[in-house]
Structure 1
Amino acid sequence: MARRNGRRRFGNVRKLPSGRHQARYLGPDGIERTAPNTFETEKQAEKWLTIVESEIIKGDWAAPEAGEVLLGEYAQQWIAERRLAPRTRENYEDLYRLRIRPYLADLALGTIRPQTIRTWRKKLLDGGTPEPQAVKAYSLLRAILNTAVKEDEIIRQNPCRIKGYDRYHTPERPVATVAQVYRLAEAVPDRFRALILVAAFSGLRWGELAALRRSDVDLAAAVVRVPRKLAALRNRMEFGPPKSEASNRTVTLPAAAVTALKPHLLQHVAPTPEALVFTGDKGALLRTGNFGRAVRWKATVAAVGLPDGFHFHDLRHTGNNLAASTGASTRELMHRMGHSSMRAALIYQHATSERDREIAAGMDKRISKQDPKRNNRRKPDDPDDGQLARVG
């Protein structure tokens, strides 16, 4: 053991009246701590101190008492102190209350292991929790414990490191054809016709559409600005900033959306700049529940030939697919959709047979323009024919 002038360089060992040995050391935080148990021999006590010293040198040391913090106390404080949008905060509170607290709240952070997480997830799924909710709960717990590791240094390693637990299979959402979008717009009450068309042809989210004001719409330039969203919270509706910095954007509208907005602004929107563009009956704030009842959504969707389970949000999906089919770049799609990462935009750039035919048709036009012999095919004895045959 490393010693200096006959004494240990790190920590100290003393013999107790009982004959056993006690190990003590000064932690990186300046607090002297005693080993949780005594040792039969001095050598065993010194070996324990060597292990602790090694952990401190490698940066793996954590205050032993910190691991005794209960997950329930830590998680609630984490949610309360985090900078979150109101809707996100409510979602986190619900996930914790329903999916995490009943199973893990009374466990000390230092006692949670990967096996604990596997058992917890199995209980969730066996108890009827849908897999998407289990994934969201796992992701929330992982974020909470990441803070305990990296910022608060309460635990050394995050037990939420199990491959595959942070994702689930998402079936591809249905896409409406342009004809179906128009049929849906014609089938709803007149005050909601423009809402359907703008949703499908702009790619704006429900909350962004519900928060649009007359001053955000510039029909002459064919653009809408998205500076805010409307969120439905537990007991109130609240205007706030868009989902992310990238969501605060200006979107150019196709002519079809502009054409729908012109009469809508005249008939259903007050002339003041702050007037909401889309509202429910009697000018009330637009809510998903009231809207669904007003347009008889499920029955109307079925009547126009759209699949069962087609959601209003699928109109945004439809618009994003339309934008991708024009050949828009990933960056262009990210801007239009209001996303800060490429992941979502790339989803809409997968190849489709229809788009592939359009590409082939475009290639044929270019080939036709640049082929000087298209209408004067080569003769059989053209020497190039042999070359082409051999290459083929």
Structure 2
Amino acid sequence: MANKKGRRRRFGAVRQYRSGRWTASYLGPEGERVRADETFETKKDAEIWLSQVEADLSRGDWRDPDAGAVNLAVYAAKWVEERELAVRTVDLYQDLLRLHIIPALGTYDLDEVTAPRVREWRTERLRATSARTTTAKAYRLLKAIMETAVDDDLISRNPCRIKGAGKESAAERQVATVAQVDALADAIGPRWRLMVYLGAYGPMRPEELAGLRRRDVDPDALVVRVRVAEPERTNGRRAPGPTKSDAGARVVVLPAFLRREVEWHLGWWAEQGPDGLLFVGERGGAFRRTTFGRVWRRVRVTAGLPEGFRFYDLRHTGHTLSTRSGATLKDTMVRAGQSSEKAALIYQHSDHERQREVADGLDEMVRDQRAKHHKKSPGGRNGADVVRDS
């Protein structure tokens, strides 16, 4: 209990407890009485604290001491909910929160998530999982959430201040040869061989391939219209929606060597009707990522590609081969549906006619590589070889 010793100051008040320690209080911007959350050894220490508060108020830096008393788990869930994110990004963030952030930090309020706690949490994650990439993703997410808390005036400073902790050191993307792409297409079987070719020579993202319908393919003009993306969520459900960026909605001109592949696939494997799926699973429904993943691991070995070569790496193969055939950076960006804000690219242009030239260059290069490969590997021709001819 405080006694009556002490005096009123111009800003705030200090009082001494019977224990001999001092307390301080002041009126906040809304007229509420705000007390220090600590006691002070001397009267001077209490007055210094009040002077600091007064300075914060005059600079507009004052923050309600109770503002940060918001549970991190609750705030993080709301943070994800309020953002316009791709469904796969939502799944990723929720997994990072559920598996890596909330178990260690979810019981704390925002103002209790201190820099030392963040450092301890990151160190524990690296030690327990040895997953540097996943830990970097989790750290970036936590940093983004806490930065919003700063903007919301709930905390005064972001506690995520570890230099380089959010950076990922991605491995060098692997590039397949023309012969290896053909080997993958042969090994994966007739149902999905065109998917391999569109992944490499489109080059299209898996979620874009999943969204293709029969009406999106013009076998006469040899073009594919990418309109939507249908990523598969972690719960197994598809989430039809827009492409990854505005540039993702595009018309892809295919090289001429794929004409027979396209005609054969439309004749045998695509669903009937304009809205029929271009690629279907073995049971006739939309193909599943998990099922396709098991098939991919098998055919990757059969085709002689190294462990870690992903279906998505076919896009990088397409980028590389297009560049080798004479495409400019802007040409490959348009072809792959990529966007960039770099000023140097804004004024460059790659129209439909230029995309036809890029496809022709790619066609010539692939045919040449195939001819060289067949010279080195003479032998009988199988059904897949016949389909590849045009």
Interval containing the TM-score (normalised by the shorter chain): 0.7 to 0.9
Aligned to 1:232: 232
Residues 207 and 230 in structure 2, CA contact (< 8 A), matched pair in contact too: yes
Aligned to 1:373: none
Amino acid aligned to 2:337: G
Structure 2 unmatched runs, 5+? 1-7, 346-390
Aligned to 2:359: none
Q: Which has the larger radius of gyration?
A: 1
Aligned to 1:317: 316
* 1:31–1:219 Cα change, 3 Å: farther
Please state whether the residue corresponding to 1:251 is helix, strand or coil: strand
Amino acid aligned to 1:209: L
Give the Cα separation in 1 of the matches to 2:21 and 2:182.
86
Residues 201 and 257 in structure 1, CA contact (< 8 A), matched pair in contact too: no
Give the Cα separation in 2 of the matches to 1:326 and 1:28.
67
The answer as to 2:60 corresponding to 1:74 is: no
* 1:156–1:237 Cα change, 3 Å: same
Aligned to 1:97: 98
CA displacement at 1:204 relative to structure 2: 0.7
Residues 198 and 257 in structure 1, CA contact (< 8 A), matched pair in contact too: no
Identity, % of aligned pairs? 44
Aligned to 2:258: 257
Residues 15 and 24 in structure 2, CA contact (< 8 A), matched pair in contact too: no
- Structure with greater contact order relative to length (CA < 8 Å, sep ≥ 6): 2
Aligned to 1:131: 132
* 1:161–1:241 Cα change, 3 Å: same
Q: Which moved more, 1:164-173 or 1:19-28?
A: 19-28
Please state whether the residue corresponding to 2:251 is helix, strand or coil: strand
Written as runs of structure 1 = structure 2, the 5 A alignment for 1:214-363 is 214-233=214-233, 234-293=235-294, 296-341=295-340
CA displacement at 1:57 relative to structure 2: 3.6
CA displacement at 1:22 relative to structure 2: 5.3
Please state whether the residue corresponding to 2:13 is helix, strand or coil: strand
Please state whether the residue corresponding to 1:163 is helix, strand or coil: coil
Q: Which moved more, 1:139-148 or 1:79-88?
A: 79-88
Residues 71 and 105 in structure 1, CA contact (< 8 A), matched pair in contact too: yes
TM-score (norm 1): 0.76
Give the Cα separation in 1 of the matches to 2:143 and 2:15.
44
* 1:235–1:267 Cα change, 3 Å: closer
Residues 191 and 269 in structure 2, CA contact (< 8 A), matched pair in contact too: yes
Listed one character per residue, the Cα deviations across residues 234-264 of structure 1 (whole Å, up to 9, x for unaligned) are 1422322222333233322222334421221
Aligned to 2:353: none
Give the Cα separation in 2 of the matches to 1:311 and 1:189.
17
Residues 17 and 23 in structure 2, CA contact (< 8 A), matched pair in contact too: no
Give the Cα separation in 2 of the matches to 1:29 and 1:334.
54
Residues 225 and 249 in structure 1, CA contact (< 8 A), matched pair in contact too: yes
Give the Cα separation in 2 of the matches to 1:38 and 1:311.
60
TM-score (norm 2): 0.77
CA displacement at 1:74 relative to structure 2: 1.7
Q: Which moved more, 1:322-331 or 1:133-142?
A: 322-331
Residues 324 and 333 in structure 1, CA contact (< 8 A), matched pair in contact too: yes
The answer as to 2:151 corresponding to 1:160 is: no
* 1:57–1:331 Cα change, 3 Å: farther
Give the Cα separation in 1 of the matches to 2:89 and 2:63.
31
Listed one character per residue, the Cα deviations across residues 300-333 of structure 1 (whole Å, up to 9, x for unaligned) are 3223232233221121121121223344443333
